[in-house]
Amino acid sequence: MKRILWGISLCVIILISFLAGIWVSRGDRDKPISSLIESGPITTGEEVEGDLPALTPGMVQISPERQQLIGVRVGTVEKKAVVHDLRVLGRVAADEVKVYKIVSSVDGWIQQSYDNSVGTLVKKHEVLATFYSPEFLDAEQAYIYALDAVDRLKLGRRLELGRQELPAQAAFDQLTVQRQVDILRSMGMPDSQIMEIGQTRQIMLNVQIPSPIEGFIMARNVSPGQRFLKGTELFQIADLSRVWILADVFEHEVQYFKPGSKATVRLPYQKKTYQATVTAVLPIFDPDTRTLKVRLETGNPGYVLKPDMFADVEMPIELDPVIAVLADAIIYSGLRKTVFVDRGHGYFEPRRIETGWRLGDLVEVTEGLTPGERIVLSGNFLIDSESRLQAVAMGIYGNLSIDPVCGMEVDEVRAKATGLTSEYQGKTYYFCSVDCKEQFDSNPAEFIDESAEGHNKKSQKNLPIA
């Protein structure tokens, strides 16, 4: 009996120890993120002993162990030339100059069509279909009469003048025949049939529709027995030996697509590349995609590029030396852009910056950083949270109002200290910058409405200012 009680007691002790261990580990795990970051004492505007930097509001200190835990990665700011491959999406299109439309010049009926559906590659002069039109009967007959008249006239002149023709009469005869040839040609009869009529002197009931070029059939509107009217488009054929690439480019990127510059066109699923040239044609704005259509031209060996296919356009860009950082290193909060500068000894200082262009993952920094400084590349969101908590601990907070111009939250105390306030109709308005204040002062009524006034009343909320 004692052994049983002893065993039960041992099991209870083990169970209690196990549960206690789980409770302790859970307590550590449930601690807020800010507790994982060790922050040193902050003394605004004072110089810390030794080689430590002068601490400013929002600056935090993080031990190397904690930096590794939250994934902090630091890089050096450099000013250097930027070489970047700008990639945009493009669409293949047929060269409009090399698109031929076969339009009927008379009324008629399709007599015979062939196996040449849309997308078929046809040769030059290849017969696409035949049709019948009664209008050709009189024109062909007149052509035969003109040929016969010329033959009779030539024979009579040879008999009367001993095989000598009168130059003026010969010229008139040729002009008459040529006029009838032009009439048949304008009605849509190909030269091959006109020559055949001249040799056989027989009327042809069915007129052929030949292809004017070697190319692909883009549109086909014929079927056996189909009646068509004058002006009907029967076929559309495109020469795809050279095609266009219409690239969708944003407004800030179009400056890099200069006429004559070279770009690489890739078909992602076929692993084929082509060298394309930007044309001198001005880009066309597309209101649906809010992009500019930039035209490039490239050869199309093997007719691999087909109209409406998608392709990747890669434009190499080389810019003058600038300060550029990774986009992930910047924290965007409304109109404010901030990076964290490594001040050494584990201290990180929030720094407001101004930016310029963005290419891929790189962003130009126009103000706020100098070459040689080290900034946080990753983990900056956790540092930003700790920075705001640190500002609260220092008592750096105030009542917030809404800037009526840009809509940003503005600390009233700081705005008053910097003179960024204005009085209008007995009410005080606070601004985040001189530009916003000047815009407001120039025309206050433009920025004051019911919604703005309602937002401006939200000024009793105490939040940290980083």
Q: Of 355, 389, 423, which residue is a domain's last?
A: 389
User: Is residue 33, in this structure, part of any structural domain at all?
Assistant: no
With respect to residue 14, please indicate whether it lies within any of the assigned structural domains. Answer: no
Average pLDDT value for residue range 273-285: 92
Q: Please determine, for residue 423, whether its predicted confidence score (pLDDT) is greater than 70.
A: yes
**Pair 176, 201 in one domain:** yes
Phi-psi region of 320 (alpha: psi -120 to 50; beta: other; left: phi over 0): beta
CATH number of the domain to which 188 belongs: 2.40.50.100
pLDDT value of residue 171: 62
State the DSSP H helix or E strand holding residue 451, giving kind and residue range, or none if neither: helix 450-456
Calculate the alpha carbon distances from 195 to 147, 173, 198, 200 in Å: 12, 17, 5, 9
Query: Is residue 37 situated within a structural domain?
Result: no
Same domain as 234, residue 116: yes
**Between 461 and 369, where is the model more confident?**
369
- Which range marks the domain in which residue 339 is found? 51-91+241-389
Q: Quote the number of domains for the chain.
A: 3
- Dihedral of CA atoms 40, 46, 51, 52 in degrees, nearest 10, equals 20
159 within some domain: yes
Strand partners, 284: 293
**pTM score, whole prediction:** 0.60
CATH of the domain at 309: 2.40.30.170
The answer to whether residue 293 scores a pLDDT higher than 90 is yes
Token representation of residue 180: 């009838």
DSSP assignment string, 14-56:
HHHHHHHHHHHHHHHHTS-GGGGS------TTPPPSTTPPPP-
User: pLDDT band for position 49 (50/70/90)?
Assistant: very low
Q: Are residues 101 and 162 in the same domain?
A: yes
Q: In the structure, what pLDDT confidence band is assigned to residue 405 with cuts at 50, 70 and 90?
A: confident
Tell whether 309 and 323 lie within a shared domain.
yes
Confidence band for 194, pLDDT divided at 50, 70 and 90: very high
Q: Is residue 5 part of a domain?
A: no
On whether both 346 and 325 belong to a single domain, the answer is yes
Distance CA 355, CA 359 (A): 12
Burial 135-156 (b: 16+ CB within 10 A, else e): ebeebbeebbebbeebeebeee
Please check whether residues 325 and 275 belong to one and the same domain: yes
For residue 192, is it within any domain?
yes
- From the number of C-beta atoms within 10 Å of its C-beta (0-12, 13-18, 19+), residue 51 rates as exposed
pLDDT at 157: 59
Judgement on whether residues 277 and 326 belong to the same structural domain of the protein:
yes
Is residue 351's pLDDT more than 90?
no
The single residue listed with the structure tokens 């490039």 is 296
Q: What are phi and psi of 70, to 5 degrees?
A: -95, 0
Examine residue 425 and state whether it is found in any structural domain, yes or no: yes
Choice among 128-132, 156-160, 191-195, 339-343 with the minimum mean pLDDT: 156-160
Per-residue pLDDT band for 3 (boundaries 50, 70, 90) equals low
Do 293 and 404 lie in one domain? The reply is: no
Check whether residue 338 and residue 257 sit in a common domain. Answer: yes
Q: Name the band, by pLDDT with cuts 50, 70 and 90, for residue 352.
A: confident
Is residue 318 domain-shared with residue 415, that is, in the same domain? no
Q: For residue 391, what are the contacts with CB-CB under 8 A and spacing of at least 6? A: 57, 58, 397, 464, 465, 466
pLDDT tops 50 at residue 143: yes
Task: Let me know if residue 25 belongs to a domain.
Answer: no
> Would you call 217 helix, strand, or coil by DSSP?
strand
pLDDT in the model for residue 361: 84
- Report helix, strand or coil for 360: coil
- 247/381 same-domain check: yes
Give the residue from 344, 368, 389 where a domain finishes. 389
* Separation of alpha carbons 420 and 395, rounded Å: 22
Residue ending a domain, choose from 369, 389, 409: 389
447 and 407 both lie in a single domain: yes
Q: CA distances (Å), 446 to each of 144, 334, 423, 449, 452, in order?
A: 84, 21, 15, 8, 11
Residue 58 gets the label, from left (phi > 0), alpha (psi -120 to 50) or beta, of: left
